[in-house]
Amino acid sequence: MKKRRSAVYPGSFDPITNGHVDIIRRAGILFDEVIIAVIVKPSKKTFFRTPERISLIKNSLREFDLEKVKVVSFSGLLVNYMKEAGSEIIIRGLRAVSDFDYEFQMALMNRKLSGRVETVFLMTDAKFSYLSSSIVREIAGMGGDISALVPGCVARKMRGQIK
């Protein structure tokens, strides 16, 4: 029987954006299972708490009708979570050359920590190249319209939280 290929897409997802959804959709074409792993850093202040980030991701995936996707949280080293998940593929999205330095450093460090993991980079659609969770938080915080940038459930939740 053919081995199921699973990949882990880690990140803060604070909040999930249409750019993340685009990467998840692309990963779903390549892998049998995509595990979205939301980092929990107790020391870091986030806009949404972990359970909210997870439920927004789940609701967004329903909106976009994406299958084969699981959403989990993890803390500590990503390579340790990879072992727990039984996956050796890390998915990361690239938007522009400016992402490269940080992503290159992280991929090589993860490879040093565990020779088994491989990072696969997927390019977002050019229309999302300017999009990030931090920009979404900033625009929403100043009352701007984020409806074209994030799934509907995220836009509604942020509007409700900021009012």
Cβ neighbours of residue 85 closer than 8 Å, sequence gap 6 or more: 6, 8, 35, 37, 72
What is the spatial distance between Cα 117 and Cα 86, in angstroms, rounded to a whole number? 11
Interface mask toward ligand PNS for 2-21; x: CB under 6 A: --------xxx---------
Query: From the list 77, 116, 141, 144, which residue makes contact with ligand PNS (rule: CB under 6 A)?
Result: 77
Smaller CB distance to ligand PNS: residue 31 or 145? 31
Of the candidates 2, 3, 44, 45, the residue annotated as catalytic is 44
Interface mask toward ligand PNS for 19-58; x: CB under 6 A: --------------------x-------------------
Smaller CB distance to ligand PNS: residue 86 or 145? 86
Quickly list H helices, 31-147: 50-64, 78-85, 100-113, 133-141
Query: From the list 109, 130, 144, 147, which residue makes contact with ligand PNS (rule: CB under 6 A)?
Result: 109
Cα distances from 151 to residues 1, 8, 39, 109, in angstroms, run 37, 21, 20, 32
